Structure formats: C-alpha cells, structure tokens
Chains A and B, each alone.
Chain A
Amino acid sequence: MARGKNRGGQEVNAGSMADIAFLLLIFFLVTTTIASDKGILLILPPKPDPNQPPPDINKNAKNIFKILANSKDKLLVEDEPFGGLEDVPKLRKAVKEFVLNFGNPDEETLPVYNSLPSSLKAQSKKSPDSSDNPKEAVVSFKADRGTSYELFIAVIDELQAAYNEIYGERVGNELLQYFPDSDQDDLADIFRNLDKSDPKLDELYDEARAGIPRNISIAEPD
C-alpha cells in the first residue's frame, strides 16, 4: 500500500505467450509418432491343391542358389558355411553374381544379356558352374524352426536388395534422367520407390524386370 508509485502498467506481459505455445507445439511435434506401415512386402504362394501331387522339380542344381539357416543362426550357402548374422551383407554380391552369371543363355535370354548396361555385363562371370540365365536362376532360402526372425529378415532383405540393385542399375540411365539430383549409388533405392501410378515410370519398372524375374523361393521350415 505504501508503494503507490507504480500505478501505470497493470497488464500481464503477453509477449512470451508465443514462446510458451511454441514450446508446447515442439513437444507435440516431437512426441507424435506417425504410424509407419513400412516393411518388406511378400506375396505368399497359394496353398497347394491336395488333389494334385506337388509338381516335380527337376532343376539343375547349378541353377539353384541354396541358402540354409540353422537354429544357431548360422548360414550354409551353396553347401559351405557362411557365418552368422554379421556376414549376411556379403550375400548381396554373391547373389548378384549368381543371377547375372549367364553361363548358358538360350535364344530367349541372350537378348536380355545384350541389353544389359556394361556395368552389369562386367559382373557376369559366365561360369559353367553357376546359373544358366536369370530366368532359370532361383535363390532358395530355407530357415529352421529355431532360426531367429532377425536373421530371416536380414537374409530376405539382402536378397531383395540384390535384385533391386540389378533392376536399378539396368535402367540406371533412364532413372537418372527422371531424377537428376541422385547419383549412381541411389539407383536401387529409387527403383524400389518408383511411383507405379505414373505410366512412364511403370513402363520403366516393367522394362527393368523383363527377363530377370525375382525368383526368390522361401521354403517352409521342416
């Protein structure tokens, strides 16, 4: 009561209100997790018809790239021990070489080989002990019931990556025309995220996959 001097400013200072609101806003922005439905999309094979016997598979062993995983999370690749989870990234190169081997291309797949860019041709070893052509080549992965899901996903991821890299590199020049900001290393990523609702990009997608089907076989565990 004695202090009668400051009668002037009775208003609350509202200047920092914006700052408080900003703080709250940032809090909500940070804590909001937008539900992300992302992952590896697979289409399961149809249920076998019980009335029909399973089809005989007489594929040449060299056309099958066998990957087995045991319950100790160790891999057996092409009948040789390959290591565990930390060695999975090495699979990508091996799978690419296997698919692009072109050991014995027929009339149908020879044009595919000729249409490949030189960077992919360079990866073709033409070894008689590996796959005849990409159409015949099958990558087979079989896990054990005791294999961890983590390893399973890691292997599937590498297999998908190998194919995506092949596709991306195959139409690399066209992709770089559409996305001039990107460089050579992103091709697989661009290919994977192609917007297929755009007819031109859809055509490009089909062009990349023509003659090189994504033959990944995931066997049921015993």
Chain B
Amino acid sequence: MSKFKKSSNTSQDIPTSALPDIIFMLLFFFMVTTVLRETEILVEQQIPKATQLQKLQKKSLVTNMYIGKPKDTKRYGTEPLIQVNDVFMEVSNVVLWVTQEKDKLSEVERDQITINMKVDSEAKMGIVSDVQQELKEANARKVLYSTIKRVE
C-alpha cells in the first residue's frame, strides 16, 4: 500500500477564497430576478383561503383586477372599489377595459383572456356579481378567483 503513497506533504485544504464570489453571484442573481410589484395596490387585499386551488398555465393571458375597501378611506370612502392597473374604475367601464386588455394579446388568444380577481374577503357579493355580468358582456369568461392555500 505504501508504494502508492508518494508525496503526502500536499495540503488537504479546499481553497475557499472563491466562495464569497460564488455566493455574491447567487445574491446578484436573486437581486436581479426579484421583480418588485409594479402596481401600487390602493385597496385592501385580505385574500380568502381555499383548498381546491388551480395553477394557471399561461401567465401572459392573465390580467389582474383588485376589489376591496380603499386603503385611503378619507379620500375614497369605505365602499369596496374596483382597481385595475393604478386607477379605480367604475363597473360600467369594465367592458371597455377588458377590450383594451384583449387588444394587447394576439388575435388567436383574445378569447382565452383570464381575469384574475383578487377580491378582499370582506367585500360583498354585489360588486363581484356586477363585475361578472360585465365580464360576460365583454366575453371574457375565464375568471380566476385568486385565493391562498389553506394550511390545515
């Protein structure tokens, strides 16, 4: 056995001087890929919990809509409002908005537009139902009720 053991005076340490660089690379990767939220949400979002969740396949087809009590109650009152992008919207404008959103998609995908409804748990069904009627009118029938996974 000792035949093969030739020079044993080499150092056994793994050089760790490059470790910080590797970690920094990982760090930069995460810092760059982290997308900060692009729209400021002006309504309260206490998303309800559910168990039977489904994931969406194609993210490009998804458009977000937020419904809830305004955070700034002094200016906007306490009744739940609809927010899209950065502004509040009336129920009557939903059709127009959906049409605009559809125009952003390619022609074949227009009917598959999915509206991601992020509704506050304290909102009432009245406003949600009104929006649904308008969505039917605008022929955007795929609706995702955004929920959080309930952990039991």
Query: Is the pairing of A and B real?
Result: yes
Binding site for B on A (CB under 8 A): 14-15, 17-18, 21-22, 24-25, 28-29, 32, 35-47, 71, 143-150, 152-154, 156-157, 160-161, 164, 192-193, 220-221
Are the CB atoms of B125 and A157 closer together than 8 Å?
A: no
Q: A38-B149, A39-B54 are in contact. Are A24 and B125 (CB under 8 A)?
A: no
In the complex, the number of residue pairs spanning A and B with C-beta atoms less than 8 Å apart equals: 144
Across the interface, A161 reaches (CB within 8 A) one of B16, B51, B59, B124, namely B51
Q: A39-B116, A153-B147, A160-B52 are in contact. Are A47 and B137 (CB under 8 A)?
A: yes
- Tell me which residues across on chain A come within 8 A of B56, comparing CB atoms: 37-38, 41
Are the CB atoms of B145 and A153 closer together than 8 Å?
A: yes
Binding site for A on B (CB under 8 A): 16-17, 19-20, 23-24, 26-27, 30-31, 34-35, 48, 50-56, 59, 62, 114, 116-117, 119-126, 128-129, 132-133, 135-137, 139, 141-149
Are the CB atoms of B125 and A148 closer together than 8 Å?
A: yes
Are the CB atoms of A41 and B20 closer together than 8 Å?
A: no
Are the CB atoms of B136 and A45 closer together than 8 Å?
A: yes
Task: Give the Cβ gap from B44 to chain A, nearest Cβ, in Å.
Answer: 12
Question: Which of chain B's residues has its CB closest to A192's CB?
Answer: B52
Task: Give the Cβ gap from B18 to chain A, nearest Cβ, in Å.
Answer: 10
The docked-state distance in angstroms from the alpha carbon of A14 to that of B55 is 45
18 contacts between A and B (CB under 8 A): A29-B30, A37-B59, A38-B56, A38-B149, A39-B53, A41-B56, A44-B136, A44-B141, A44-B143, A47-B136, A143-B129, A147-B125, A148-B121, A148-B125, A149-B119, A150-B48, A161-B51, A221-B125
- Tell me which residues across on chain A come within 8 A of B24, comparing CB atoms: 21
Task: Give the Cβ gap from A8 to chain B, nearest Cβ, in Å.
Answer: 19
- Tell me which residues across on chain A come within 8 A of B139, comparing CB atoms: 46-47
The docked-state distance in angstroms from the alpha carbon of A85 to that of B129 is 20
Question: Which of chain A's residues has its CB closest to B68's CB?
Answer: A149
The docked-state distance in angstroms from the alpha carbon of A160 to that of B145 is 13
- Tell me which residues across on chain B come within 8 A of A160, comparing CB atoms: 52
Q: A28-B34, A47-B136 are in contact. Are A39 and B27 (CB under 8 A)?
A: no
Are the CB atoms of A153 and B23 closer together than 8 Å?
A: no
The docked-state distance in angstroms from the alpha carbon of A150 to that of B24 is 44
Task: Give the Cβ gap from B81 to chain A, nearest Cβ, in Å.
Answer: 14
Are the CB atoms of A43 and B142 closer together than 8 Å?
A: yes
- Tell me which residues across on chain A come within 8 A of B121, comparing CB atoms: 148-150, 153
The docked-state distance in angstroms from the alpha carbon of A161 to that of B139 is 27
Q: A44-B136, A156-B145 are in contact. Are A145 and B54 (CB under 8 A)?
A: no
Are the CB atoms of A144 and B125 closer together than 8 Å?
A: yes
Question: Which of chain A's residues has its CB closest to B135's CB?
Answer: A44
Task: Give the Cβ gap from A70 to chain B, nearest Cβ, in Å.
Answer: 11
Question: Which of chain A's residues has its CB closest to B30's CB?
Answer: A28
Across the interface, A46 reaches (CB within 8 A) one of B51, B136, B145, B148, namely B136
Are the CB atoms of A42 and B143 closer together than 8 Å?
A: yes
Q: A37-B144, A41-B142, A47-B139 are in contact. Are A149 and B122 (CB under 8 A)?
A: yes
The docked-state distance in angstroms from the alpha carbon of A188 to that of B129 is 29
Are the CB atoms of B34 and A161 closer together than 8 Å?
A: no
